[in-house]
Amino acid sequence: MSGDEVQLSPCVGGLVRTWATDGTDRLWSVPDDAWLRETQGSGRLGRIALTENYFRESAEFADAGLILRPRLPVQVDGDLTMAAQTVELRGPKRASRGTRQDFRELLTRAVRHCVDTYEFLVVGPGAQRPGGPPLCLFAVLADGAGHVAVVEAAPPPAESLLWEPFLEPGAPSATVSAPSNPETVALAPTLMIEAIGGWGLDPWDLALTFGRR
């Protein structure tokens, strides 16, 4: 297993799941999770390509845990470096009470990253490739002279009062769109959490897929 590249779930509540290229997965606890929590979703972690346009954050297994390499050089004490970070892994334990807040902070960071870079974000089960339901997508799209922020959920979040005005009978998905501005972008993580909450999955069962059109 050492040296293998793995995909990462959100690190929330002190837990993270890894998926190997052969499809096997494992849940871990992360004793010191602060660095990983604060870095995921920022665009700074190395990624593995699922297709030409779809990417997930990844790491390399080592004896001590995970080796996480930056996508681009980072500045440390005035110098640029590609130095890797090692994160210790242990056997799974009960998630901390900060799970929901950790997940919200991660989605907020990922959404802001996509706004800044014109990438799109797809949240879905980590065991499946992006494209089929369940999924929740965030993107900023050109609309004439401006841009619109879009959140799409499939299947439609039928039990959500927040999504209710945007549900159409018989539609395979539901979409919320509005002019992109700080207020609409700030609402996107809440809409996504409402949709994802109906899937019956824990955050560490999910994966964040980034892409470019």
Q: What is the DSSP letter of 45?
A: B
* CB proximity list for 98: less than 8 A, separation 6 or greater: 12, 13
Instruction: Answer positive or negative: Cα dihedral of 142, 48, 127, 112.
Output: negative
DSSP letters of 121-189?
EEEEETTS-TTSSSEEEEEEEEETTEEEEEEEEES--TT-TTTGGG--TT-S-EEEEEE-SHHHHHHHH
Q: What tokens appear for 31 in the block?
A: 């004793």
Task: Indicate the pLDDT class of residue 2, thresholds 50, 70 and 90.
Answer: low
Task: Indicate the pLDDT class of residue 187, thresholds 50, 70 and 90.
Answer: very high
How confident is the model over 149-180, as pLDDT tens digits?
Answer: 999 999 999 999 999 999 999 999 999 999 99
Check pLDDT > 70 for residue 74. no
Across 106-123, average pLDDT: 97
Give me the pLDDT at residue 21, please: 86
Task: Indicate the pLDDT class of residue 62, thresholds 50, 70 and 90.
Answer: confident
Check pLDDT > 60 for residue 76. no
Domain parsing of the chain, residue ranges: 4-211
- Write down the pTM of the prediction: 0.91
How confident is the model over 100-110, as pLDDT tens digits?
Answer: 999 999 999 99
Check pLDDT > 70 for residue 80. no
Give me the pLDDT at residue 78, please: 65
Query: Between these two residues, 181 and 63, which has the higher pLDDT value?
Result: 181
Least Cα distance to 50 among 58, 59, 40, 42 occurs for 58
Check pLDDT > 80 for residue 118. yes
